[in-house]
Amino acid sequence: MKKLFFVFLLTAFSISSAFAQKYGHVNFGNLLSLMPEVATAEAELQTYEKEQIAIGEKMVADFKKEYAETEAKVNDITPKELQTIQAKLEKDQVAIQKFEQQMGRNVEIKRQELLGPIIQSAKDVVNTIAEELGYELVFDSSIFGSILFAEDTTDLLPAVKERLGIE
């Protein structure tokens, strides 16, 4: 009976060891901040955003100029001309508002266009390293509250940095 119990205990321990899972973590935010491609993309995004702002500012300046010119000659033009100018100014004002709304979307689309491939590349490297080293699960430790307790996890950031050629 003792031998049977001992064999059972040994088997149970062997099975639990065989099914032990490896967990790791990567601070993905730190990883991205260390990648030179991200800095390049961020600089390009800032340039694009400044260009968009300049376009919007020009639209507003043109609107203000036309409004001031109309105000200056309001006594010298016919009511029909005034009505035509007012309709154009209203149309321009709506165009400015639409541009402002679209500008935010355009910047976000550009951000995804520039950073999306970089982020995917970093994720691919993390996945490859996790598979090579036999990790069952890798957490992103840059997300607040995503890891509340981590006893036996390994930080994979050094391996990912090495694979990406980041010092």
Each residue's pLDDT tens digit, 51-106: 999 999 999 999 999 999 999 998 898 999 999 999 999 999 999 999 999 999 99
Confidence category of residue 1, pLDDT binned at 50, 70, 90 = low
Q: Where are the domains of the chain?
A: 21-164
Amino acid at 152: D
Q: Which CATH architecture has domain 21-164?
A: 2-Layer Sandwich (3.30)
**pLDDT reading at 150 higher than 60:** no
Whether the full predicted model's pTM is greater than 0.85, yes or no, is: no
pLDDT at 136 (0 to 100): 85
- Helix H segments across the chain? 2-18, 28-34, 36-72, 79-133, 157-164
- Residue 109's nearest CA partner among 45, 40, 36, 33 is 45
Contacts 24+ apart (CB under 8 A), 158-167: 159/129, 159/133, 160/26, 160/31, 160/122, 160/125, 160/126, 160/129, 161/31, 161/34, 163/125, 163/128, 163/129, 164/35, 164/121, 164/122, 164/125, 166/34, 166/35, 166/36
Distance between CA atoms of 71 and 58, rounded to whole angstroms?
20
Q: Smallest Cα–Cα separation from 58: which of 91, 99, 3?
A: 99
Q: What residue type is assigned to position 66 of the chain?
A: E
Q: Confirm if 124 and 26 have CB atoms less than 8 A apart.
A: no
